[in-house]
Amino acid sequence: MADTGFVQKEKLEEFLRELSKDAVVYAPCLEGDTVIFKTFDPGTTLCLDRPANNPPKLAVFPQSETLFSFKYKKDAEDPRKMSVELEANTDFPRAIIFGARPCDAKGFRIYDRVYMDTNTPDPYYQGRREKTMIATLCCSAPSPGCFCVAVGGGPAHREGSDVLITQFEKGYFIEPVTEKGKTILNAPQIEDGAQYAEEAHKRQLESHDLVRNPFAEDGLPKISRSLFDLDEFWEHVVSKCLSCGACTYLCPTCYCFNITDEQSLDIGERIRSWDGCMFPHFTLEGSGHNPRPTKFKRFKNRVGHKFLYYPEKYNGVIACCGCGRCIRHCPVSVDISEIVSYLRGSRFEFTNEPPESIGTDTNS
Amino acid sequence: MTENKNPYLPDLATVIKVIDETPNIKSYQVILNDPEKMKTFFYEPGQVGQLSVFGVGESTFVINSPPTRMDYLQFSVMRVGEVTSVIHELHEGDQIGVRAPLGNWFPYEEMKGKKILFIGGGIGLAPLRTLILFMLDNRADYGDITILYGSRTPPDLCYKDDLKEWESRSDVSLILTVDTEYPGWDKRTGFVPTVLNEIAPSPEDTIAITCGPPIMIKFVLQNLAKLNFKDENIITTLEARMKCGIGICGRCNIGSKYICKDGPVFSLAQLKEYRAEI
Ligand SMILES: Cc1cc2nc3c(=O)[nH]c(=O)nc-3n(C[C@H](O)[C@H](O)[C@H](O)COP(=O)(O)OP(=O)(O)OC[C@H]3O[C@@H](n4cnc5c(N)ncnc54)[C@H](O)[C@@H]3O)c2cc1C
Ligand code: SF4
Ligand code: SF4
Ligand code: FES
């Protein structure tokens, strides 16, 4: 078997159908004008031109999933009493995420530390993650909002990817990064890619410098604690936030969830679903006390989590992959890269005036 | 550490006794249905568990019976909302789910040889009870034990049998208080932080452990500071709305610490370091 492969453009769908034979394939597909990561099947229209609106996290962390089902049964010996049976399934099918972006792939590594590198690993995440291959498409040009290089990534960054794909006019150069990724070369639609390798590596380097770096050239952002702890700062920079939570749902590195029960008659399920720290109810306690009652506190926690708390816990790693989704899709154009850039303290002296450039629409 | 491989899957357990503590608090003694698990179940004083009523949900409660008395696990539940209301409907023989033990525990090793001052309010006596009973079962390891406990009215005092016993012991001094005068009440009245000032315990070689409603804790901490207790000798427990209980769901953090995993027990020195707002 060759080390690398190439798929002709017109054979791409056939190739994905082939992969679908023994794996669930997730790919960015067109839905109206929107690009959505979802399970690929015949009838879906692929769109690899721009990053999907939603990240591929749903492949290993579905928006809603069953943790276990339960069943109440009348006790045979004492019919007034009920016994309960529980059943959990952590056996998942193989999956391939095709056409993730390098930031998306890196996002999974941010999950891994929390969900797997702990003494209580999450069997649902782990079960899916271990069976999922991530085939990543290198970016040839950044989209509005992207800032992957500013957080240690880049348009051809390999972290988290099992396969790296480079786009050519004629088709796709396919390069396994991990052992898991090598199996992708078995499909009959794959030609030897050797002749494309050199040009592909050149292209991968080219787009790196096109990505904006809002934190300037001084490496990863270092946050000024005094500014970070200033409530007035947060009140200014997020005054227009609507607490809609879109930024958390579209973020490839946001991983919070809720757990709820559903029951009908004597059977039911315990379900976990995405949740987000931007919602006021997220931390509301039974007593009525809420440790993060205002959107300023919640936003501070979100930025803090990604740029201070997570790095504190995991060796400086930033829990934001710079995908720019929260910037592109925020209904009121709150820009996390701008906020973090102010938090470095060097560019922004806190005055009582809102900083002028905040809210510049990066969608255009 | 739980042996349970799936940390979300509760162990099934049976309620063996329900005790009416106060008008809105009941204690539940439960045993795990798997006798082997019950025999080898291990936890430390201060650790918590998630109780499940399947179909309704889970809530967090401290295991308030000490590991030195392992015939059953006791949880005390104050009725405040959905899950706790349904728990209040449970009877002897009913099935529930238990995910335990979770979280950290009181640093009882470091407290050896010291004087111990417990300051509790309402249901806040639950975690303190675990440690009090544990210390009484290892009495020689600890110095003077003082317990200051208060509630709104006398019927709101939890663990009345324990209180009676502690009151009668010569090696424990128990100070009870209720918010205002109450027919038949001949002990102290006044809020816990105020009574703390009145009894003015010496900080010398003493660890203060406090648990209760947030507002009580806030003033107790202030008053302990006035009494010259050092931050590292003040221990408290924090609450949060918890779901996973294992540091994953992201709900209960203060900075990079998770109350469910790095807590619920913290020293005031730690809380200041984490910039917790209390
Ligand atoms: C470490 C720890 C130890 C604890 N130990 C004990 C203990 O030993 N004993 C004890 O009694 N308690 C203890 N608690 C507190 C206990 O966990 C809560 O009281 C319990 O979880 C409340 O559950 P619930 O389902 O009954 O309340 P919920 O129904 O969840 O909430 C109660 C109230 O909160 C408000 N609320 C909640 N969610 C919403 C929402 N989405 N929208 C609007 N309002 C909402 C409502 O006013 C509601 O009535 C402990 C908590 C922690 C974290
Ligand atoms: S998407 Fe924008 S408005 Fe919505 S919660 Fe996030 S920052 Fe606030
Ligand atoms: S915080 Fe925004 S830019 Fe960073 S990973 Fe999440 S969605 Fe992408
Ligand atoms: S309860 Fe989930 S992180 Fe603490």
Q: What is the pLDDT of residues A202-216, one digit of tens each?
A: 998 888 888 998 886
**If residue A128 lies in a helix (H) or strand (E), which one and from where to where?**
helix A123-130
CB contact under 8 A, B54 and A270: yes
Query: From the CA of B85, how far away is ligand 1's center (Å)?
Result: 10
pLDDT for position A219: 67
Q: Which of B95, B136, B102, B103 is nearest to B118 (CA)?
A: B136
Q: Which residues of B119-152 are buried (b: 16+ CB within 10 A; e: fewer)?
A: bbbbbbbbbbbbbbbbbbeeeeebeebbbbbbbe
pLDDT for position B59: 95
Chain B nearest-CA distance from A110, in A, is 12
pLDDT for position A220: 72
CA atoms within 13 A on the CB side of B178: 15
Say if strands A24-31 and A95-100 run parallel, antiparallel, or are unpaired. Answer: parallel
Q: What is the pLDDT of residues A144-184, one digit of tens each?
A: 999 999 898 999 999 999 999 999 999 999 999 999 999 99
Before B101, cis peptide (omega within 30)? yes
Residues of chain A in contact with residue B250, where contact means CB-CB under 8 angstroms, are 255-257, 277, 305
Q: Which ligand is nearest to the CA of A245?
A: 2
State the ipTM, two decimals: 0.90
Residues of chain A in contact with residue B244, where contact means CB-CB under 8 angstroms, are 257, 259
Cβ–ligand 1 distance for A289 under 6 Å, the answer no
CB contact under 8 A, A86 and B94: no
Joined tokens for residue A348: 């922004």
Residues in the ligand 2 pocket, defined by CB under 6 Å? A 241-247, 278, 330-332, 334
pLDDT for position A218: 65
pLDDT for position A328: 94
Q: How far is CA A169 from CA A3, A30, A173, A215, in A?
A: 21, 20, 11, 34
Residue B273 — left, alpha, or beta (φ > 0 → left; ψ -120 to 50 → alpha)? alpha
Chain B nearest-CA distance from A89, in A, is 10
Interface of A with B in 106-165 (CB under 8 A): 114-115, 118-124
Helices (H), A238-335: 246-249, 295-304, 310-313, 325-329
Rg, C-alpha atoms of chain B: 18
Nearest CB to B240: which of A272, A291, A308? A291
Q: Which of A204, A214, A235, A221 is nearest to A310 (CA)?
A: A221
Residue nearest to atom 8 of ligand 2 (CA): A241
- Ligand 4 atom nearest to CA at B261: 4
Best mutation target among B242, B256, B261 (most A Cβ atoms within 10 Å) is B256
Q: Which of A5, A1, A324 is nearest to A191 (CA)?
A: A5
pLDDT tens, chain A, 364 aa long: 679 999 999 999 999 999 999 999 999 999 999 999 999 988 889 999 999 999 999 999 999 999 999 999 987 777 778 899 999 999 999 999 999 999 999 999 999 999 999 999 999 999 999 999 999 999 998 899 999 998 989 999 999 999 999 999 999 999 999 999 999 999 999 999 999 999 999 998 888 888 998 886 666 777 888 888 888 889 888 889 999 999 999 999 999 999 999 999 999 999 999 999 999 999 888 778 888 989 999 999 999 999 999 999 999 899 999 999 999 999 999 999 989 888 886 545 555 454 444 444 433 3
Q: Are A322 and A253 a contacting pair, CB within 8 Å?
A: no
Q: Is the CB of residue A270 less than 8 Å away from at least one CB of chain B?
A: yes
Residues of chain B in contact with residue A88, where contact means CB-CB under 8 angstroms, are 6, 8-9
Q: How far is CA A206 from CA A154, A213, A314, A324, B216, in A?
A: 11, 16, 30, 20, 61
Interface of A with B in 167-206 (CB under 8 A): none
pTM of the predicted structure, to 2 decimals: 0.90
What average pLDDT is seen over chain A? 89
Q: Which residues of A228-237 are buried (b: 16+ CB within 10 A; e: fewer)?
A: beeeebbebb
